[in-house]
Amino acid sequence: MEIRGIERKLLYELKSLKVAELEQLSKALNEDIASVMRASKELENKGLVKLREEWKRVITTTEKGRKALEEGFPEKLLVLGILKSETNELEKILNLVGREANIALGWAIRRGWVKIEERNGKKTVALSVEDPRKLLDEETEEEKLLKFVSKSEEVSLDDIKSKTSETALNNLKLRGLISEYKKRIWYVEITEEGQKLVERGIPESEKGLSEITPHVIKSGVWKKIGFKKYKVEASGPKIYPGKRHPLREIIDKIRRIFLEMGFKEARGPIVESSFWCFDALFQPQDHPARELADTFYLKGLESKLPERDLVEKVKKTHENGWITGSRGWRYEWKEEIAKKSVLRTHTTAVSARYLQKVSPPSKVFSIGKVYRNEKTDWRRLHEFFQVEGIVVDEEATFRDLLGYLSTFFRKLGFEKIRFRPAYFPYTEISVEPEVYVEERDTWLELGGAGIFRPEVTEPFGIDCPVLAWGLGLERPIMLILGMRDIRDFYKNDLNWIRELPYRILRGV
């Protein structure tokens, strides 16, 4: 059995240690981690060591945390500002603290250091501790913990928990002064056979060159010494090439699917008026979905309405049906409600805007973020991507709509697809597409679709069928990647992104 140079050093290092972390061995041997890993793999194949991996949660200081250590915690700067200031007016005191004034005030009140009072119509701030100077000199538990963490590049979460309270740790995380992440630790342990070999003494390995360099070739030294045997089946270190976030990768794939189907892409604003988000889609102004329980409204921001002629047609359609043949919603439509600004609840608003300039035949899609006040769980988010599409064609039918959606989902890799009758204020006939998830033995609803009602299209001067759909993207992507929780998309887990096979992303 041939034992090469770095392998010999590794075994002798483990003779007394028995087991050690890969990074520890790298420093002790003065070799890079990749070389030590290769040597460990070789020795494992020979039965002389065992490799074991563990995941540990570690803590590191953030840039914001280092700044807090250098300049001081904002709440202490606030106390210092109050002591130095000749005024107790809240606004003037906060100006002294700077851009983190509100953070400083919040934490100072939370700790019971200051209190806010109102005198003569002005807010004042006063210290509520007997000896503020002593408060400034003494370190809080958070400051002590942050100093401890900053002394090393990273610290094990288990080590930290034994030195501080859970409250101090959570406060530093909440404030963004420290960050927590998972780290993979490799351990190398010498086997009984390896230990016996070291105790007997490892024989010298055969002479020869282990790598080819320009010097080796030019000098001709390889002709005299020769090369060592190279084991091509030996596993090397893992390499993590740069890759984009899985969401972005698959969104681009979805974009290509629609472009291949002959669609054009459209885009629209995230901050949208209620007119485009609701009114243009024939959603009544008293509809429950418009309430704060479902929609994020932007306080103090009023949106502009489009040209007067379109607004009047939408108004009449809501109130009495106008020329659409329906009786409308029979209420008094109000411009002030239509002007309210919202974070768009669906990308259908993009489709509504596009109806101003469309002429049949035309096929349009859009992909973008939407926002809803949803209860977050394994399959729901309050901020997510949606893909929207419309087909404007005089010969379009409901069967065409189902065909477009079936083709889209099959191109994404779903074989079992069904459509369930549904209701939406702006489409008739309406359906909800569902795909079958074998792992959960259930059907999962992925959005809504239908044919726009005349009340939506007539104000735009469109008198032909308009097929429309809006589909959530995270849910199907979650299923494609084998994920069990939709929230994992936004945890920024680098290890998950690194380990995710790239062929899954490209093969969708």
pLDDT tens, position by position, 281-306: 999 998 887 887 688 999 889 999 99
Bridge partner list, 66: none
pLDDT band at 321 (very low <50, low <70, confident <90, very high): very high
Predicted confidence (pLDDT) at residue 162 exceeds the cutoff of 90: no
**Do residues 147 and 114 touch, judged by C-beta distance below 8 A?**
no
DSSP assignment string, 376-396? PBTTB-SEEEEEEEEEE-TT-
Looking at domain 74-139, does it have CATH number 1.10.150.120? no
Amino acid present at 307: E
**Which of 79-83, 100-104, 223-227, 399-403 is modeled with the greatest confidence?**
399-403
Q: What residue spans define the domains of the chain? A: 5-48+191-221, 74-139, 248-506
pLDDT tens-place string over residues 377-395: 777 788 889 999 999 999 9
Percent over 70 (pLDDT), the chain? 93
Closest CA to 178 of 99, 55, 68, 56: 68
CA dist 461 and 471 (Å) reads 26
pLDDT digits 0-9 by tens, 103-123:
888 888 888 888 888 877 788
Considering the entire predicted model, what is its pTM? Answer: 0.57
Angle subtended at Cα 248 by Cα 247 and Cα 250, rounded to the nearest 5 degrees: 70
DSSP labels, 6-58: HHHHHHHHHHHHSEEEHHHHHHHHT--HHHHHHHHHHHHHTTSEEEEEEEEEE
User: Which position has the higher pLDDT, 211 or 429?
Assistant: 429
Q: Which architecture does CATH list for 248-506?
A: 2-Layer Sandwich (3.30)
What pairs with residue 19 in β-bridges? Answer: 189
pLDDT for 207: 60
Say yes or no to pLDDT of 358 above 50.
Answer: yes
Neighbours of 395 (CB within 10 A): 9
- Give alpha helix (H) positions in 190-329: 192-200, 214-219, 221-225, 246-260, 274-277, 308-320
pLDDT at 132 over 60: yes
pLDDT for residue 278 = 93
Report pLDDT for 210. Answer: 66
pLDDT for 344: 93
Taking only the tens place, the pLDDT of each residue in 451-504 is: 999 999 999 999 899 999 998 888 777 777 777 788 888 877 787 888 777 655
Interatomic CA distance for residues 491 and 493, integer angstroms: 5
Alpha-carbon distance of 139 to 69, in angstroms, equals 11
User: 508: which 2 tokens?
Assistant: 């969708």
CA atoms within 13 A of residue 22's CA, in its CB half-sphere: 21
The answer to whether 111 and 75 have CB atoms below 8 angstroms apart is: yes
Find the helix or strand (DSSP H, E) in which 149 lies: helix 141-150
Residue type, position 239, single letter? I
CA angle 414, 434, 501 (to 5 degrees): 35
Q: How far apart are CA 194 and CA 198, in angstroms?
A: 6
Distance set, CA 250 to CA 243, 275, 364 (Å): 12, 31, 19
